């Protein structure tokens, strides 16, 4: 009886325990938990060798392991299951989907930290580029690889070499911080800080950088270069140097395909052969067409007889090859030289013929003399690079103040022909229908009388830009009048206008108040943008500005918005 009760009790206890365990089933592992362990997918041999692999497994022959979307293959591996750690030997390859492959002779992988280390002819390959170096570290958590040994990256036409670098797999971006060189069949880029996007071919240069090619040499400390389209945008202390020209500006755009360059703000273009300089706040250069356009407080500075000639117009256009260049200045043109200045509507200067035309209401101040006419030509000498002669065509008028009195010396005629000596107007002929009012003084500067006459021709010899002698030719009709016998209204020739208030007395006078206001505004704007670290905007480059920036995903419309739309 006791035994039967014991067996009944034991049976009930056993059933209750079975029922309890049946109610509490072990939970299935989540996908995240499954992928945390490094899984052996294949190995021809699996051994436990405590001497060689303490606490681990020795895998050999066609080894293949899987961990969280990554497949690893090698000839031999040490797998430490407790640490979730792997050491791989011989023909090691780590594949992350079909987008990234890491090959080496030796590698280590930490499944818990999701980090890999590969060394020995390490090669990382993506659809856009291949990186070769000695050692590569790869962090799967942030999808970044970095190396501190000399690395070479090949991307279609570009080969990049650097001492260290970092690769951002998600952005397909390489970042180099030490001695990086990009070699392309058309150019070579050198920098110490360069960001390169392998998919787009976009390159960002930060810090002192150079781009060298057969066509030119470029320097920048902040720039962008599209290696696929050959378009570039440079900022901060940038310049483009050709054989005969140096282009500088706060912001430079460059198209290597067409050899076109444009510059914005504080533009300076130096002609190294002719020793000329053109400045402004916007310029365009077409190298293949030998053409240059400059505006916004534009000024051309040329060296003539060891003196600088400043020419300003709203627009400056320079065209033609070396030795055949033509300078055109448009709209309210002003020019200045130490002993000569002037104004006109436009200027046309040809270096081949050494002829400079002042077109449209020209006025010239030579020393203290004011010269006007319908058209003026300044002719130079290409051999001596000096001004040789002056022509004034139609309605010539020469005016200068009497040295001591209040009157004006005046010469009027059809045309004027003058010759220069040592850069100064010396011998002047005025021909056809000439008229003169001339205040005659002796050696003691005492007024002898006022000479007023007409003749066929007048010759004047000037010394230090003042009339030394005056000679009248053919059909001279007039007289010398005592000062008190010639009325004030008779002392001025018809059409005489003294324009001393318009005279340009310095290189700064060539600019109008509007020009100076614009100049101050643009310089101030540039300084503010530099302090704030902003890029100088350039319309040609709008399409590239945000190309490499991630676009945030569009947010789904709220329920309220959806109702309203219905």
Q: What is the reported pLDDT for 246?
A: 92
- Taking the C-alpha atoms of residue 17 and residue 42, their distance in angstroms, rounded to an integer, is 40
User: What SS3 state is found at 17?
Assistant: helix
Within a 10 A sphere around the Cβ of 79, how many other Cβ atoms?
24
* 53 within domain boundaries: yes
- Taking the C-alpha atoms of residue 292 and residue 322, their distance in angstroms, rounded to an integer, is 13
- Taking the C-alpha atoms of residue 412 and residue 436, their distance in angstroms, rounded to an integer, is 6
CATH of the domain at 63: 2.60.450.10
Cβ(482)–Cβ(451) under 8 Å? no
**Residue pLDDT, tens place only, 487-506:** 988 899 999 999 999 999 99
Residue 27, Cβ density class (10 Å: 0-12 exposed, 13-18 middle, ≥19 buried): exposed
Q: Which residue, 172, 167, 197, 170, is CA-closest to 182?
A: 197
List CB contacts of 380: < 8 A, sequence separation 6 or more: 304, 354, 355, 356, 386, 387, 388
pLDDT at 382 over 80: no
Cβ(35)–Cβ(21) under 8 Å? no
* 63 within domain boundaries: yes
* 545 within domain boundaries: no
pLDDT band of 551, cuts 50, 70, 90: very low
C-alpha dihedral sign at 198, 204, 208, 211 = positive
Cβ(136)–Cβ(109) under 8 Å? no
- Taking the C-alpha atoms of residue 149 and residue 164, their distance in angstroms, rounded to an integer, is 6
* 307 within domain boundaries: no
**Residue pLDDT, tens place only, 408-439:** 999 999 999 999 887 788 899 999 989 999 89
* 64 within domain boundaries: yes
pLDDT band of 72, cuts 50, 70, 90: very high
Phi/psi at 509 (5° precision): -70, -15
Q: Which residue, 292, 290, 274, is CA-closest to 282?
A: 292
Q: What is the reported pLDDT for 532?
A: 66
* 216 within domain boundaries: no
- Taking the C-alpha atoms of residue 399 and residue 215, their distance in angstroms, rounded to an integer, is 52
Residue corresponding to tokens 């004034």: 392
- Taking the C-alpha atoms of residue 233 and residue 541, their distance in angstroms, rounded to an integer, is 7
Q: What is the reported pLDDT for 540?
A: 35
Count of domains forming the chain: 1
Query: Which residue has better confidence, 196 or 25?
Result: 196
Q: What is the reported pLDDT for 98?
A: 80
- Helix (H) / strand (E) element for 121: namely strand 115-125
pLDDT band of 386, cuts 50, 70, 90: confident
Angle at 551 between CA 544 and CA 176, to 5 degrees: 60
* 60 within domain boundaries: yes
pLDDT at 13 over 50: no
User: What percent of the chain is helix, strand and coil (3-state, nearest 5)?
Assistant: 15, 60, 30
Q: What is the reported pLDDT for 533?
A: 61
- Helix (H) / strand (E) element for 355: namely strand 355-359
**Residue pLDDT, tens place only, 237-267:** 899 998 888 999 989 999 999 999 999 999 9
What is the residue range of 117's domain?
Answer: 33-125
Cβ(283)–Cβ(292) under 8 Å? yes
Q: What is the reported pLDDT for 502?
A: 92
For strand 355-359 and strand 340-350, is the pairing parallel, antiparallel, or unpaired?
antiparallel
Note if the pTM is more than 0.85: no
Q: Which residue, 321, 228, 223, is CA-closest to 240?
A: 223
pLDDT band of 305, cuts 50, 70, 90: low
C-alpha dihedral sign at 174, 180, 184, 188 = positive
316's tokens: 């400056």
- Taking the C-alpha atoms of residue 174 and residue 41, their distance in angstroms, rounded to an integer, is 33
* 230 within domain boundaries: no
- Taking the C-alpha atoms of residue 123 and residue 95, their distance in angstroms, rounded to an integer, is 12
For the residues of 417-431, what is the DSSP string, one character each? EEEEETTEEEEEEEE
Q: What is the reported pLDDT for 342?
A: 94
**Residue pLDDT, tens place only, 322-348:** 778 899 999 899 999 888 899 999 999
Query: Which residue has better confidence, 127 or 88?
Result: 88
Least confident of 52-66, 457-471, 551-565: 551-565
Q: What is the reported pLDDT for 14?
A: 36
For strand 231-241 and strand 194-197, is the pairing parallel, antiparallel, or unpaired?
unpaired
Instruction: For residue 490, give the DSSP letter.
Output: G
pLDDT band of 552, cuts 50, 70, 90: very low
Strand partners, 314: none
């Amino acid at each position: 009886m006791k035994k039967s009760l014991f067996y009944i009790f034991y049976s009930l206890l056993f059933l209750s325990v079975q029922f309890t365990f049946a109610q509490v089933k072990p939970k299935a592992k989540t996908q995240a938990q499954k992928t945390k362990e490094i899984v052996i997918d294949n190995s021809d041999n699996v051994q436990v060798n405590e001497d060689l692999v303490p606490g681990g497994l020795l895998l050999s022959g066609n080894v293949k392991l899987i961990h969280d979307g990554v497949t690893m293959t090698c000839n031999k591996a040490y797998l430490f299951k407790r640490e979730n750690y792997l050491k791989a030997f011989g023909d090691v390859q780590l594949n992350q989907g079909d987008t990234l492959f890491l090959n080496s002779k030796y590698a280590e992988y930490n499944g818990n930290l999701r980090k890999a280390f590969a060394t020995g002819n390490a090669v990382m390959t993506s659809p856009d580029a291949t990186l070769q170096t000695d050692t590569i570290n790869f962090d799967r958590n942030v999808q970044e690889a970095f190396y501190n040994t000399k690395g070479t990256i090949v991307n279609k036409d570009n080969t990049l070499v650097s001492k260290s670098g970092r690769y951002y797999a998600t952005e397909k971006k390489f970042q180099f911080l030490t001695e990086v060189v990009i070699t392309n069949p058309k150019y070579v880029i050198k920098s110490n800080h360069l960001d390169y996007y392998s998919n787009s071919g976009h390159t960002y240069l930060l810090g002192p950088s150079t781009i060298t090619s057969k066509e030119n040499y470029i320097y920048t400390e902040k720039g962008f270069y599209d290696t696929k389209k050959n378009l570039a945008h440079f900022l901060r202390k940038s310049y483009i140097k050709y054989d005969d020209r140096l282009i500088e500006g706060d912001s430079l755009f460059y198209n290597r395909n067409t050899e076109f360059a444009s510059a914005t703000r504080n533009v300076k273009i130096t002609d190294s052969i002719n020793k000329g300089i053109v400045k402004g706040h916007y310029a365009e250069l077409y190298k293949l067409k030998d053409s240059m356009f400059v505006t916004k407080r534009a000024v051309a500075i040329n060296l003539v007889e060891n003196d600088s000639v400043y020419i300003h117009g709203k627009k400056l256009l320079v065209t033609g090859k070396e030795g055949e260049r033509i300078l055109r200045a448009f709209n309210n043109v002003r020019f200045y030289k130490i002993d000569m200045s002037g104004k006109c509507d436009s200027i046309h200067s040809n270096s081949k013929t050494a002829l400079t035309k002042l077109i449209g209401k020209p006025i010239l101040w030579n020393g203290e003399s004011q010269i006007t006419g319908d058209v003026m030509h300044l002719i130079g000498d290409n051999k001596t690079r000096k001004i040789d002669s002056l022509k004034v065509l139609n309605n010539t008028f020469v005016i200068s103040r009497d040295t001591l009195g209040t009157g004006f010396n005046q010469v009027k005629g059809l045309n004027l022909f003058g010759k220069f000596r040592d850069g100064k107007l010396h011998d002047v002929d005025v021909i056809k229908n000439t008229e003169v009012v001339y205040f005659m003084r002796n050696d003691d500067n005492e007024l002898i009388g006022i000479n007023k006459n007409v003749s066929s021709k007048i010759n004047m010899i000037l010394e230090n830009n003042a009339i030394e002698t005056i000679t009248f030719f053919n059909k001279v009709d007039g007289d010398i009048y005592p000062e008190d016998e010639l009325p004030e209204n008779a002392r001025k020739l018809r059409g005489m206008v003294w324009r001393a208030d318009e005279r340009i007395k310095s290189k700064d006078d060539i600019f109008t108040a509007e020009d100076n206001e614009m100049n101050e505004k643009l310089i101030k704007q540039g300084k503010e943008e530099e302090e704030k670290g902003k890029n100088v905007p350039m319309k040609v480059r709008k399409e590239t500005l945000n190309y490499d920036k991630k676009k945030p995903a569009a947010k789904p419309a709220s329920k309220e918005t959806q109702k309203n739309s219905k």
